[in-house]
Amino acid sequence: MNLRLSQSLCLIIGLNIGCYSTDESVVGKSGNLQRKPVVQAATANVAAVTSTQDAAAKKLVASATYFLDIATASGAKPCAGEINLNIMEDFSISLANSKAVCGNLTIDLEKLLGAQLQSGGGINLNKFSSDGQILSTSEIAGGTFVPPRPFIVGPLVQDVTKFIGLKRTTASTITVAKPDTGPALTAPGTFVTTVLEVNQAYTNKYLKQGFDKVIHWTLETQGFQGVPAKYGLLFKRWEWLWNTRPIMIPKIIITLEGLDAFIESKSGEALSEIVGEVTVTLTVKDYNLSGT
């Protein structure tokens, strides 16, 4: 130990002897001091990191206006209206100023459907799965599905040849843990997804330019006895016309067994009086996908 101490002393003394006292001041000059730059004020707020964005600052990135009409099995059209679909930068959806007129009544579709659109609280990617042809979801509109139910074809259809003649039957069980009234619901059923046509053309009198890459498919639902259609979006039939590039939905036709199972809120009382098979058609009038 003493020897080590003596060695240390020798070293310290030796270093002091070996260097001049002025050396320290040389290397202490500014040339030896790297300093990080100060973050510019203009970029500071950009650099201040937040993983969540202020909801109030959400920007509109895409919008479309659809005509809405509701037809009964007899061919009567008791309601017509317009839906303004706004897609925000976080992919949340709003239906500002969307209304339907049924006889003397004007129905606020924003209020009627807004709650259901918001109930999901945004898109949770973990709830979705894809095999490259069909996007499925394990949870939607208050219902959970085991296995996940088919939701839409695609939605990104790159190689359209993979979709020609696609037909698939998917068995699934829905559970509604917290229905509006009564105990939890559960029921088995099946979904049949059928691609009718690819690269189909579509236009209507309102569009300045039609679409020529439309994939046309249907999604039919069977079973799920005792579960109102509003849970899990259990429509009897869902027919989509979906343009693959640019992505745009020119038309959606939804077939329901009456609206009463789908709409239970007070604002929908007028619609809930429409019974029997009902077809709800959404037809695009104009759209803007440019994000401006």
Q: Which of 100, 110, 70, 66 is nearest to 255 (CA)?
A: 70
Radius of gyration (C-alpha) of the chain in whole angstroms: 31
Rounded to the nearest whole angstrom, what is the least distance from the CB of residue 73 to other proteins in the complex?
A: 36
Which tokens go with 38? Answer: 């100060």
To which residue do tokens 């939905």 refer? Answer: 249
Overall residue count recorded for the chain in this entry: 292
The window from 42-50, 178-186, 200-208, 268-276 that contacts other proteins (CB under 8 A) reads 42-50
Query: Residues 136, 148: contact at Cβ < 8 Å?
Result: yes
DSSP reduced 3-state for 285: strand
Q: What are phi and psi of 264, to 5 degrees?
A: -120, -5
The window from 36-44, 115-123, 163-171, 177-185 that contacts other proteins (CB under 8 A) reads 36-44
DSSP reduced 3-state for 206: coil
Q: Which of 19, 76, 115, 275 binds other proteins (CB under 8 A)?
A: 19
x/- letters, 99..138, toward other proteins (CB under 8 A): --------------------------xx-xxxxx--x---
Q: State yes or no: residue 53 binds other proteins (CB under 8 A).
A: yes
Rounded to the nearest whole angstrom, what is the least distance from the CB of residue 211 to other proteins in the complex?
A: 10
The window from 78-86, 198-206, 239-247, 252-260 that contacts other proteins (CB under 8 A) reads 239-247
User: Which residues fall within 8 angstroms of residue 81, CB to CB, at 6 or more apart?
Assistant: 67, 68, 69, 98, 99, 100, 101, 107, 109
User: Judging by DSSP bridges, how do beta strands 60-72 and 93-94 pair with one another?
Assistant: unpaired
Rounded to the nearest whole angstrom, what is the least distance from the CB of residue 115 to other proteins in the complex?
A: 24
Q: Which of 104, 208, 246, 266 binds other proteins (CB under 8 A)?
A: 246
Rounded to the nearest whole angstrom, what is the least distance from the CB of residue 170 to other proteins in the complex?
A: 15
Q: Which of 61, 93, 102, 253 binds other proteins (CB under 8 A)?
A: 61
Query: Residues 276, 259: contact at Cβ < 8 Å?
Result: no
Q: State yes or no: residue 74 binds other proteins (CB under 8 A).
A: no
Nearer to other proteins, 2 or 225 (CB): 2
Q: Which of 77, 7, 116, 101 is nearest to 280 (CA)?
A: 77
Q: What residues make contact with other proteins under the rule CB under 8 A? A: 2-3, 6-7, 10-11, 14-15, 17-20, 22-23, 26-27, 29-37, 39-40, 43-44, 46-51, 53, 59, 61-62, 87, 89-91, 125-126, 128-132, 135, 155-156, 158-160, 245-248, 289-292
